[in-house]
Amino acid sequence: MAEAVRECEAALATADGADREELAVELGGTRKQFAELLARSASEEAEDAAIRAVFEAALEQMSRAVAVFAGLGDAGLHSRTGAELGAGWLEADLGRPARAAARARAVLAAYEGADGTDDTVRARREEAAQMLEAAREGTAPDQPERS
């Protein structure tokens, strides 16, 4: 997966126009997938330090996905907020409720004034609200299915 990320980055560095946007979407998606794979790979039987290290690596990849999608502006909004929520859950898993809450608030701000009938908007707002509640309680509950 790391190789796929490097290849996407190299291609993006030399691309222009529509190719650049398409490659940015691909890079962001690859980073998000990498983060999800890392997080799922953490065995519950592993030592706490090992689990934490894997979650930190996953958070780094997810944060990079957020940055890539943010660079796409409105075209990357749903992808960015999905990655932002993924990063928020990782923050919660790492015992950082304030950072998780900040990510949830960023998602809510991104959709401020958006059409509430859009399924993705509604789902992201609901998940962000769940994250805020979990952060207030200082817990990392079972996370909803991410899109």
In a domain, 145, yes or no: no
In a domain, 143, yes or no: no
Taking alpha carbons only, the member of 142, 141, 109 closest to residue 124 is 109
In a domain, 146, yes or no: no
Q: What are the tens digits of pLDDT across the range 29-71?
A: 999 999 999 999 987 766 788 999 999 999 999 999 999 999 9
Residues 10 and 36 sit within 8 Å (Cβ to Cβ): no
Q: Specify the number of domains making up the chain.
A: 1
In a domain, 142, yes or no: no
What's the pTM value of the predicted model, to 2 decimals? 0.86
Q: Give me the mean pLDDT over the 18-25 stretch.
A: 88
CA distance 98 to 118: 28
In a domain, 16, yes or no: yes
In a domain, 87, yes or no: yes
Q: What are the tens digits of pLDDT across the range 101-146?
A: 999 999 999 999 998 899 999 999 999 999 999 999 876 555 554 4
Confidence of residue 12 (pLDDT cuts 50, 70, 90): confident
Q: Give me the mean pLDDT over the 23-31 stretch.
A: 92
Q: Give me the mean pLDDT over the 18-28 stretch.
A: 89
In a domain, 48, yes or no: yes
Confidence of residue 95 (pLDDT cuts 50, 70, 90): very high
CATH code for position 133: 1.25.40.10
pLDDT at 141: 54
Give me the domain span that covers residue 93.
2-137
pLDDT at 139: 63
In a domain, 17, yes or no: yes
